[in-house]
């Protein structure tokens, strides 16, 4: 709270530095026009609104929302969802502490945009924050211990913002210790429904499809490392 109101969500958009001065952030500072609310997010307990920059009245609306979770010891996890009005959907998780009445201390744990590390499924369970993070094909292989340094994002494997192939599920404690629980490959068995960016992507897609068809869709670290090893052995540049 700040001045007996929820903290303005624009204070958490494009955070610069380790502290936020609550007197110098938000809608009043930015001079944006509030254009309404996302009723679904509000119903889920989010704080925020849609907005527009009056200097660009014909531009698409932006939006800024957040939800907070207790991290113990006067700490809070903050999950933010922001867009400047373009195609991006920027999501972040921060650890926040009140320094004084007017100042927050902020540490960013993780952030992303759509398939490039976008965050969902955020919930506090047994004093741990749980969340999922979108993965591209390149991200998936990079998350293993078997990434071939010769394999390049975009050129060899899909890495674009609309090229999701899986989700990584994590747990984090109040000490900012992040632990991978598992990777979920989803249910897509048809390779033509998968991304096609990159010289090795077709081979990767067939490998993923074989895992999904066999029911191997939730991979802990050892199985993920095994998948990456198969990719390295099977999918070679011509």
Query: Per-residue confidence of the chain (238 residues) as pLDDT tens digits?
Result: 666 789 999 999 989 889 999 999 998 889 999 999 999 999 999 999 999 999 988 889 999 999 999 988 889 999 999 999 999 999 999 999 999 999 999 999 999 999 999 999 999 988 899 999 999 999 999 999 878 889 999 999 999 999 999 999 999 987 788 999 999 999 998 999 999 999 999 999 999 999 999 999 999 999 999 999 999 999 987 6
- Among 99, 78, 102, 95, which Cα is nearest to 21's? 102
Verify that 61 and 93 share a domain, yes or no. Answer: yes
Neighbours of 10 (CB within 10 A): 21
Q: Which one of 75, 96, 113 terminates a domain? A: 113
The SS3 of residue 209 is helix
The SS3 of residue 160 is coil
Q: Which one of 113, 141, 171 terminates a domain? A: 113
Verify that 205 and 141 share a domain, yes or no. Answer: yes
Verify that 89 and 192 share a domain, yes or no. Answer: no
Distance CA 215, CA 115 (A): 23
Verify that 71 and 57 share a domain, yes or no. Answer: yes
Verify that 90 and 145 share a domain, yes or no. Answer: no
Verify that 118 and 95 share a domain, yes or no. Answer: no
Give the CA dihedral 194, 199, 155, 120, nearest 10 degrees: 20
Contact 89, 83 (CB under 8 A): yes
Distance CA 216, CA 185 (A): 8
Distance CA 88, CA 94 (A): 19
Q: Is the pTM of this model over 0.85?
A: yes
Distance CA 144, CA 165 (A): 15
Please give the residue range of the domain that contains residue 131: 114-237
Verify that 97 and 121 share a domain, yes or no. Answer: no
Verify that 169 and 223 share a domain, yes or no. Answer: yes
Verify that 31 and 109 share a domain, yes or no. Answer: yes
Q: Which one of 65, 84, 113 terminates a domain? A: 113
Verify that 184 and 125 share a domain, yes or no. Answer: yes
Question: What is the tally of structural domains in the chain?
Answer: 2
Beta-bridge partner residues of 91: 81, 112
């Amino acid at each position: 709270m700040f001045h007996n109101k929820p903290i303005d969500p624009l204070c958490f958009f494009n955070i610069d530095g380790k502290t936020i001065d609550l007197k110098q952030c938000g809608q009043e500072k930015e001079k944006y026009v509030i254009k309404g609310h996302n009723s679904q997010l509000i119903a889920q307990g989010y704080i925020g609104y849609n907005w527009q920059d009056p200097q660009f009245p014909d531009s698409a609306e932006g939006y800024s929302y957040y939800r907070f979770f207790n991290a113990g010891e006067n700490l809070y996890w903050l999950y933010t969802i922001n867009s400047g009005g373009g195609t991006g959907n920027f999501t972040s998780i921060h650890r926040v502490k009140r320094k004084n009445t007017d100042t927050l201390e902020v540490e960013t744990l993780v952030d992303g945009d759509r398939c490039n590390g976008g965050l969902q499924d955020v919930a506090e369970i047994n004093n741990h924050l749980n969340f999922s993070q979108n993965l591209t094909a390149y991200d998936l292989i990079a998350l293993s211990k078997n990434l071939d340094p010769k394999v390049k994002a975009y050129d060899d494997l899909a890495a674009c913002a609309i090229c999701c192939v899986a989700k990584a599920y994590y747990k984090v404690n109040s000490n900012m210790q992040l632990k991978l629980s598992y990777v979920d490959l989803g249910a897509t068995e048809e390779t033509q429904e998968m991304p096609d960016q990159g010289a090795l992507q077709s081979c990767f897609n067939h490998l993923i499809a074989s895992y999904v068809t066999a029911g191997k869709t939730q991979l802990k670290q050892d199985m993920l490392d095994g998948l990456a090893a198969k990719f390295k052995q099977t999918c070679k540049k011509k």
